[in-house]
Amino acid sequence: MALDYGRRRIGIAISDPTRTIATPGGVIERPRTAKPKNVPRRLLEMVRESDPSTILVGIPFSMDGLAGPMAEEVRIFAEAVKNATGISIVEWDERLTTAQAEREIQTMGLSRGKRREKGRTDEMAAMLMLSAYLRLKDLQQASKEAADEDVALMDTP
């Protein structure tokens, strides 16, 4: 599961049971007065339903790699999610995911009204982060298997 946290809404993406395909999982609207330490009830329900092993949370770094005030707010939210669910959190650099999500939405051939639906960009950004994370995990697994195979070949007389 991946979360694209925002003060107004949280974009959500989920993976299939084999953890190879990421799909948009919807958007949770947040009241203007919501604090980052308050985890929406609907998000907790979605976590229970999808039973993720990890929750990926996008951290908004600036282009120079520094974490500003919004990144700190996201980290407060991520800690609250971890405390409420007991599921480990992985921080993910979300730089440029919104721009990439907007480009992806443009290529989908949706009507202008559908493209501009509130939250569409947020859930697409979450999906792009989760897709990248799943690809990275797959590459790491393949690399580990190749290294294990090399070791096994070296041990063979």
pLDDT along the chain (157 residues), means of 10: 94 91 93 90 95 93 81 95 96 78 68 62 90 85 66 60
Task: Identify which of 74, 85, 3 has the alpha carbon closest to the alpha carbon of residue 35.
Answer: 74
pLDDT for the residue numbered 52: 94
CATH number, domain at 9?
3.30.420.140
| Tokens encoding 24 | 């948009």
What's the pLDDT score for residue 28?
A: 95
The pLDDT of residue 117 is 60
Residue 70 CB-density burial (10 A; 0-12 exposed, 13-18 middle, 19+ buried) = middle
For residue 1, the cross-strand partners are none
Q: What is the DSSP string of 35-62?
A: -TT---HHHHHHHHHH--SEEEEEE-B-
**Which amino acid does the sequence have at 20?**
T
List the beta bridge partners of residue 22. 15
Range(s) of the domain holding residue 142: 2-155
Residue 140 CA to chain centroid, in angstroms?
18
- The H-or-E segment that residue 103 falls in is helix 97-107
Q: How many domains does the chain have?
A: 1
What pLDDT is stored for residue 141 in this prediction?
Answer: 74
Q: What is the pLDDT of residue 138?
A: 75
What's the pTM?
Answer: 0.78
Burial class (CB in 10 A: 0-12, 13-18, 19+), 54: middle
Dihedral sign for Cα atoms in the order 32, 36, 41, 45: positive
Residue linked to tokens 């990439």 = 100
User: How far is it, in rounded angstroms, from Cα 62 to Cα 71?
Assistant: 9
